[in-house]
Structure 1
Amino acid sequence: MAVVQLTEGYLGTKAVLTAPLSLEGEESDSNNGPPNLLQRIFSLLNNVHPGSDLIRFQLPPVFNFPKSQLQCYGESVYCINTDMLSKCNHGESPLDRFVSVIAWSISTMRPLMFGVAPYNPVLGETHHVSSGTLNVLLEQVAHHPPFYGTNIETEVHGKRQLILHDKSETYVMNSPKLVIRFLPVPRVDWLGNVTIQCKETGLEAELCYRGNSFLSRRSQHRSIKGKIFLSSSSQTIYEINGHWDRTVTIKDASNERVTIIYNANEALSGLKTPIVKDPKGIVPSESTLIWAGVSQAILQKKWEKAREAKNTVEERQREVAKEIKLKDEKWVPKHFTISHSKESGWECLPNHKLVPPAPIVVTPSTSGNSVKFIHM
């Protein structure tokens, strides 16, 4: 992955911006790629010691591509060729808008490759980017990497909310899990069930993201299946089928008419890379600054320098956690309010209604009316 721009930022730190993930996943350019898999496995084994705590395990930089997971989530919203959010707002009927919300939700999926992964964001890390009139702000509000035997699961707690103020409609949805499997075949999949609801219209959707079974079959790879129905009666309106990296269709339950609602090739081909528009506006917690030293070293294939830079970031994170524990304090996010209860589960709500324009921008491929959105 080639570096696109180095920009002076906070206290002279340089922000490192790279091309967004595409349908092909992490780029395999030999000029910028990591060492071969065998070298990376040896590097991994050197970091695993008998009796070591996997939760504190440090993934060597040769297994990273130069992005934070927070950046990856942000890119899934602001790096896209079609204005999916405006379509959500422009639908003539509640059902039209609901279908567009489903298509937008599917469009946030990006392929990842086994053997490389983004950085695990540090507590309080932020990412702020604008694309046209769309302003996106993310913040890492918790830090609990989960490990489960032969799998690593990344689960986004809380819920996404998409609010169409003009229509007085709120769409609430969860996210699939990112599952990294080591056995029997190494692979990375987005898996699990996603529910999308709009209480104002009484519409609901259930989606199931599926991956390959033991015997790999293209028909199941990155497939999605589900339905749209009325919450009050569970009456099915549309059946949903397809693959999130190809096309997704809906079939009308009343007349079996099939319509394509999402084309991944149209939405995710030729994506543009963000640039820094206002270097002085970048805050110290910005992902592209926190991980700049690591990213630059990875791009230059200076693996020992990358390891040292990554260790510096992670040691700083541990010191912050230690200080909070010693003071018996609780971490308080800057942009979100967190709550948890047995009834409603884990909730994370934005502190402000609108997100301001960002110092980092990406030029959208299409134009459209703004749908103000804050994304965690």
Structure 2
Amino acid sequence: MITIITKQRIETDAVLTAPLTLDGESDDHYRSPNLVKRILGLLKNVRPGSDLTHFQLPPLFNIPKSQLQCYGESVYCTGTDLLRKCADAETPLDRLTSVVAWSISTTRPLIFGVAPYNPILGETHHVSRGNLNIVLEQVSHHPPVSALHATDDQKGIDIIWCQHPFPKFFGISVETEVHGKRQLKLRKFGETYTMNSPKLLIRFLPFPNVEWTGSVRIACKETGLEAELSYKHNVFCRRNHRSINGRIIDSSSSKTIYQINGHWDRTVTIMDIGTGKVRVIYDVKEAISGLSTPYVKDPKGVSDSESAMVWSEVSRGILTKDWEKAREAKRGIEQKQRELQKQRDSKGEKWAPKHFNVTYSTETGWDCSPIESKVPPAPIAVPI
């Protein structure tokens, strides 16, 4: 079960809430009565197969945080520092295995029936955890595209993500393909690991649930090692619920080195094909349980475009269940964005991201490259 708690250390207009975890006794306070009926009521005029990119949820169905924050939390909110394990591993095979574990850790559990806010154009989220500095920016609104850049100079780690979710409605479910590329660079070894994201599947019937599904490929061109992961869902059999399996191979020979098995919300193991030895590479209780809430370290350094500032009034309304206040605040944000777009259009101006160079190709899709090589320390921090 999942619970979210607010925690603020320094007085500021920013509203920060605890990350989504496996901890807690109940998440019922984020669920409205007759949830499935209400959601299907919202979607009654939507045709099966329709793109839901422009679909706006009322605050009753929002959690008090932006999608940018959710993306960021999957990188900076961890119980064990899996990223540093990637940088500290001695052999290419151990490094790829560590990258696989880290990649799985970014697959976070979600609450059925509620979703984060859709980020506005130019919204940012800047957070530090120790020496790891992360910045995210919403670089496109229609279609929604989010970019992430993280650096840890002490360990020589660089992360670049480009996320373009594409949700479709299929009558009794919503399936979201997450387009875009993820890169993890280990500068010390001159290695770049590229990977994609699994799909997000939301089912309304026969049993409401949220799952990750589909295939993930993690490849390192420099070492020739690859990992193939398959996220599976099965609403009728708890034993196979949220299962994951796959293998680690040498791409030059297509030889399987390790078999991967487990559940992304429990533990994942690898078995050495040569020796039959099995060991745990990922334990969700260690990775994403007991996570700390980010706090404002430097109130003056928080930008007006920061997610926790942009949505602060909406979040306060949700947290106090003052739905009218939340609705008014959300309408105000949306109206301001429409006015800003009209102003740009009337002047013939084109909006440009602050932190990323963004390109689009029909062949390769969206690409987001950081303008700066390093991410500076942030005014928002995560306790270690």
Q: Confirm or deny a common fold (TM above 0.5).
A: yes
- 1:294 aligns to what? 314
**1:89 maps to what in 2?**
87
Residue correspondence of structure 1 range 98-177 to structure 2 within 5 A: 98-143=96-141, 144=143, 146-150=167-171, 151-177=173-199
Match for 2:224: what amino acid?
Answer: G
The Cα offsets for residues 315-357 of structure 1, whole Å up to 9 and x where unpaired, read as: 2233344444555554422212222334434322222221110
Asked if 1:317 is matched to 2:337, the reply is yes
1:88 Cα deviation from its structure 2 partner = 0.3
Q: Distance in 1 between matches of 2:16 and 2:124?
A: 15
Once the two structures are superposed, what CA deviation does each residue of 1:39-93 show, in whole Å capped at 9, x if it has no partner? 7955984x67868996544312111111111101111111111111111011111
| In structure 2, distance between residues paired with 1:228 and 1:308 | 51
Do residues 209 (structure 1) and 231 (structure 2) align?
A: yes
3-state SS of paired residue (1:249) = strand
Does 1:23 find its partner at 2:22? yes
Cα gap change, 1:24 to 1:169, in 2 (>3 Å): same
The alpha-carbon distance between structure 1 residues 43 and 8, as it changes in their structure 2 partners (threshold 3 A), is: farther
**Counterpart Cα distance in 2 of 1:123 and 1:331:** 9
Count of residue correspondences: 354
Q: 1:180 & 1:291 partners in 2: Cα distance?
A: 25
User: With CA pairs under 8 Å and 6+ residues apart, which has the higher RCO, 1 or 2?
Assistant: 1
Q: Match of 1:260, SS?
A: strand
Amino acid at match of 2:312: A
DSSP 3-state at the match of 1:175:
coil
TM-aligned CA deviation for residue 112 of structure 1: 0.9
Residues 127 and 381 of structure 2 are in contact (CA less than 8 Å); yes or no, is this contact kept in structure 1? yes
The answer for the alignment partner of 2:8 in structure 1 is: 5
Q: TM-score, normalised by structure 2?
A: 0.85
Sort the Cα spacing of 1:162 and 1:359 in 2 relative to 1 into closer, same or farther, 3 A: same
Secondary structure at 1:66 match in 2 = strand
Classify the secondary structure of the residue corresponding to 1:240. Answer: strand
1:251 maps onto 2:271 in alignment? yes
The structural deviation recorded for 1:35 is 5.9
Partners of 1:349 and 1:60 in 2: how far apart? 33
Q: What value does the CA root-mean-square deviation take over the aligned residues?
A: 2.5
Q: TM-score, normalised by structure 1?
A: 0.86
Whole-angstrom distance in 1 between the partners of 2:275 and 2:281: 17
CA–CA separation in structure 2 for the residues paired with 1:312 and 1:68: 16
Q: Please report how far the alpha carbon of residue 183 of structure 1 lies from its aligned counterpart in structure 2 after TM superposition.
A: 3.3
> Structure 1 residues 327, 210: CA separation in 2 closer, same or farther (over 3 Å shift)?
farther
2:372 aligned residue: 352
Distance change (3 Å), C-alpha of 1:56 and 1:229: closer
Give the AA of the match of 2:116. P
Distance 2:39 2:106 in 1: 32
Instruction: Give yes or no for contact 2:35–2:113 (8 Å, CA) kept in 1.
Output: no
Q: 1:72 aligns to what?
A: 70
Aligned residues with identical type, % of pairs: 60
| Structure 2 unmatched runs, 5+ | 144-165
Cross-structure match for 1:190: 212
